[in-house]
Structure 1
Amino acid sequence: MGLLKSTFTWWEGSTFGTWMGLRGKRKTGEDALGNVYYEGGKDVNGLPRRWVIYKGANDASRVPPEWFSWLHHQIDDVPDRALPQVRRWEKPATPNMTGTALAYRPPGALEKGGRRAAATGDYEAWVPE
């Protein structure tokens, strides 16, 4: 099932066609999440084409900010050489948590018990005339 699955299911990683399209392209680097970055050829504006091959699910929020800037030609060199060292107070990037147990749930959401704060009396309902 491996070859058949990689031929048709793009949502669980790169397909066979993607790997064939990366032949002759240069592997540029890898991030802490295991995503691999490639560069090669030119786009219509004459800039080098750049790709990311996700490790795991294809979710663009899993690309760290430094590699996002490389993918979008905001920096020319790979982040390790082009950007300053990470400061000790900087937090690591987190992927989009929507749809998981770690997603933000505001007070009053059904997932948090469904209890809204009591009304304060400063609300006046609109009445059409």
Structure 2
Amino acid sequence: MAVQLDHTIVHAHDRRVSAEFLAEVLGLAVGSPMGPFLPVDTGNGVTLDYYQTDGDFTPGHYAFLVPDEEFDTMIGRLERMRVTYFADPGHTEPGRINTLFGGRGAYFDDPSGHNMEIITRPYAR
């Protein structure tokens, strides 16, 4: 068996708010709590386990490969939620998407300050 990522912990100021935010944008469901964690299953065997903390943490970057036919729907959800999205990771091109590697992509912040990314094509490696 090849090594695979199973889950990762995502620190949040409010685990429910952050988990529900991501689930809504991506069209996913929030799972039942597992101890201190609130999971969002991405559907490819990887779970983001939201963990609430009152302390400081360094925001991370999470990139999601999404179906091209669902990208516009996700952008529409961000717009409906009044969340600004950007074409670049530095957030200097608001309201725009990128077309890297023949796909489409956008960046946005979640409620805890994590830099989220949706892309329709994986980056060239």
* Fold agreement, TM-score > 0.5: no
Q: Which has the higher strand share?
A: 2
The TM tier, using the shorter chain, reads under 0.3
Instruction: Give 1 or 2 for the bigger CA radius of gyration.
Output: 1
Higher relative contact order (CA 8 A, sep 6+): 2
